[in-house]
Amino acid sequence: MTDAMVEGDIGWFPLSLRLAGRRVLVVGGGEIAVNKIRLLLAHDARVELLATHLNGQVAEWVERGVVSLVGDMAADGALRAVMPGCRLVYAATDDRAVNRAVATVADDLNIPVCAVDDPDPSSFITPAQIHRGPVRIAISTGGAAPVLARRLRATIEAHVPDDTATLARYLSDRRARVVEACPDVPRRRRIWEDFIDGVGGAAARGGAFEQADDVLAALLRDVRVRGEVWLVGAGPGDPDLLTLRALNLMQNADSVLYDQLVAPGLLDRVRRDAELVYVGKRASRHTLAQSEINAELVRRAQRGERVLRLKGGDPFIFGRGGEEIETLLGHGVPFQIVPGITAASGCAAYAGIPLTHRDCAQSCIFVTGHARADGALDLPWDAMARSGQTIVIYMGVGALPSLCARLIDHGLSADWPVAVVERGTLPGQRVVEGTLATLPGRVVEAGVGTPALIIVGEVVRHRVVSPPGFNPSSV
Ligand SMILES: C[S@@+](CC[C@H](N)C(=O)[O-])C[C@H]1O[C@@H](n2cnc3c(N)ncnc32)[C@H](O)[C@@H]1O
């Protein structure tokens, strides 16, 4: 069981079945059967029918000889006589008891059976499908939520253009030739990726096959595997807050170097065969020194990998992204930088706290509360302790008592509002509210852990406790 699964998720194994020329028995001749027969005919199955009553569409198919009527309804003996040799059976009447009886016989004979809209007696179910020529995308909720499956299909459908069919056929036709010309698997995969993402793919989609062939030939001759590094912000935790660009690169990386703040749900979005390398850091426990991470990025890029350096939040906000690109520049390694939603924006939004507000906060300042090795907090206190301003403090929970005391020393009142957002945007997010005087005690009482972000300022009073769409808990 993978991290993404919970008990009860397991049950239906997706696979693609060849039905062309194979006998499939459908029991039932009404509306429910029509949908299944249509699907089966689209896959060139030989549909045989057991039914007492045929609706207009089914009668027409029978009349045209597209579907063979092999008997009327479903006495046990009739079922046992026609089922042997069938690849599949659909029990598609509007009578659940009849469907279940059909399923029992099919099960007895070891033939996969689907009792329509009734997963319990079924040994297979039919997923919602998207067809683009040879490309098939199937979406299944294991029979738990068919309407959700259909909604997902609509969403995915919008992202898979019709010309995908043309592209897929083009690729299929050239596949053997490319395998022969380039037996090296990683290099070949790269050629295909460059082709599909580039002008060649666009030409093939549009049917300009000669032009596409020229591009493919050029790639086969010239491609030199060149590594690069993509420095990508993964946002504060909720995978839905990834940018489209981040997702796209996650799907194309050969290896991913990720740190502590990258939530497991985010890694599920990475290409399955990419190598995942944890280089995480905690405030007090460095797994890999920054210089080692920099060197590892260079090493991997130099051997031709496309390396995704995935960082929590935004790489350029307390993320040491600047140091990493300086090293890459120094070694002539090409790189891209993709911004992410920083913890301040993500946590504030999910906690319902506006970072600026017309009435009370005309500016917002981000600071780090990470103390120096000697324990000192080196911060611009006078610039911070101002009314009309929100202060967001990253990495500050360990030093919270001292932070609050120093802000009071520099002129903010003891009842100035403060909130801490723990695990912002993630399941179990908590928000603890208080004042500069009370919050340190409350945070200890609540046992606030990491990651956590501090928001100081009158905006905390404007907090909307349950913003629409989510419901963070608050203590
Ligand atoms: C090293 S900084 C990295 C910041 C990151 N680059 C960004 O833009 O969000 C780590 C700090 O960010 C804050 N943080 C990051 N993700 C958070 C989350 N999901 N909830 C609360 N705070 C978070 C915490 O203050 C944490 O100690």
Where do the structural domains in the chain lie, given as residue ranges? 23-126, 164-222, 228-341, 351-474
Ordered per-residue pLDDT tens for the chain, 475 residues? 444 455 556 678 888 999 999 999 999 999 999 999 999 999 999 999 999 889 999 999 999 999 999 988 667 678 888 999 999 999 999 999 999 999 999 999 999 999 998 989 999 999 888 888 889 899 988 878 888 988 899 888 878 888 999 999 999 999 999 999 999 888 898 899 888 877 788 889 999 999 999 989 988 987 556 688 999 999 999 999 999 889 888 988 889 999 888 888 899 999 888 999 998 755 445 557 889 999 999 999 998 888 999 999 999 999 989 989 999 999 999 888 999 999 999 999 999 999 999 999 999 999 999 887 777 888 999 999 999 999 999 999 999 999 999 999 999 999 999 999 999 999 999 999 999 999 999 999 999 999 999 999 999 999 998 654 454 444 3
Q: Is 425 in the pocket of ligand 1 (CB under 6 A)?
A: yes
> Does the domain at residues 228-341 carry the CATH identifier 3.40.1010.10?
yes
Place of tokens 């039932």: 28
Report the residue among 287, 453, 455, 470 best suited for mutation to probe ligand 1: largest number of ligand atoms under 8 A from its CB: 453
d(CA 430, CA 446): 10
C-alpha 371 to ligand 1 mean position (Å)? 15
| Superfamily grouping for domain 23-126 | NAD(P)-binding Rossmann-like Domain (3.40.50.720)
Looking at CATH, the fold of the domain delimited by 351-474 is given as 3.30.950
Burial of 445 (0-12, 13-18, 19+ CB in 10 A): exposed
Q: Which atom number of ligand 1 is nearest to the Cα of residue 321? A: 6
pLDDT for 237: 94
d(CA 344, CA 130): 39
Alpha carbon 445 to its chain's center? 36
**Under 8 Å CB-to-CB from 258, ≥6 apart: which residues?**
234, 267, 276, 277, 278, 279, 280, 310, 311
Prior bond to 236 cis, omega within 30? no
Q: How far lies 204's CA from each of 135, 178, 200, 210, 232, in Å? A: 15, 15, 6, 9, 31
Identity of the residue numbered 166: T
d(CA 465, CA 123): 46
Identity of the residue numbered 10: I
Please compute, for residue 410, the number of CA atoms within 13 A of its CA located in the half-sphere on the CB side: 15
Q: Is 143 in the pocket of ligand 1 (CB under 6 A)?
A: no
d(CA 257, CA 275): 9
C-alpha 366 to ligand 1 mean position (Å)? 11
For the annotated catalytic residues, the residue numbers are 259, 281
